[in-house]
Amino acid sequence: MTIATIGDVEFGIELPTFEPDTSLATGTRFADLISWDGVRFRDHEGAKKEGFQGAIIPGILNQGYLVAMIHNWAPPAEVVSVDTVFRAPVIADDSHSITGVVTDIDEEDGKVEIDLTVTNDKDETRVFGTAVIRLPT
């Protein structure tokens, strides 16, 4: 169900699971776009030499996935804030999924709070965050 107004949102409802494109090609393209240097974003072997399990997805791209997920679920949503904790690296070319759950609704202000979690295919949490969005009343 696509969300159009705050009246469509129920406390505790889960957002549709989002599968972000965490391919190395996308991570590299993103790092190039924002002018982030570092072999860790571009090459698995080079990243391993830096102590990672493989090439990693830039943290900001992970934050971008969270917001894209919200807009897929609620296209008119205006993001008020997003707070993200990078608990462990998101390894490029591994499969990941993002889940979200509505944890608060403020109908008076038109605001909704959502907890979001990025997990890998071993069900390990890599990134988690909280977003506050504003929806039409």
Select 14 or 60, whichever has its Cβ closest to another protein.
60
The correct pick among 21, 50, 104, 106 for binding another protein (CB under 8 A) is 21
Q: Are residues 78 and 97 in contact, defined by beta-carbon separation less than 8 angstroms?
A: no
The correct pick among 5, 17, 53, 81 for binding another protein (CB under 8 A) is 81
| Interface with another protein, residue 29, by CB under 8 A | yes
As a whole number of angstroms, the distance between CA 90 and CA 127 comes to 8
Q: Are residues 130 and 70 in contact, defined by beta-carbon separation less than 8 angstroms?
A: no
Select 18 or 112, whichever has its Cβ closest to another protein.
18
Select 11 or 124, whichever has its Cβ closest to another protein.
124
| Interface with another protein, residue 80, by CB under 8 A | yes
Token pair 């608060």 in the structure block, residue:
104
Residue 9 phi/psi, 5-degree rounding, is -95, 135
CB-count exposure of residue 92 (10 Å: 0-12, 13-18, 19+): buried
| Interface with another protein, residue 85, by CB under 8 A | yes
Query: Could you list the residues that contact another protein (CB under 8 A)?
Result: 18, 20-21, 26, 29-30, 33-34, 59-61, 63-65, 67-69, 71-72, 75, 78-86
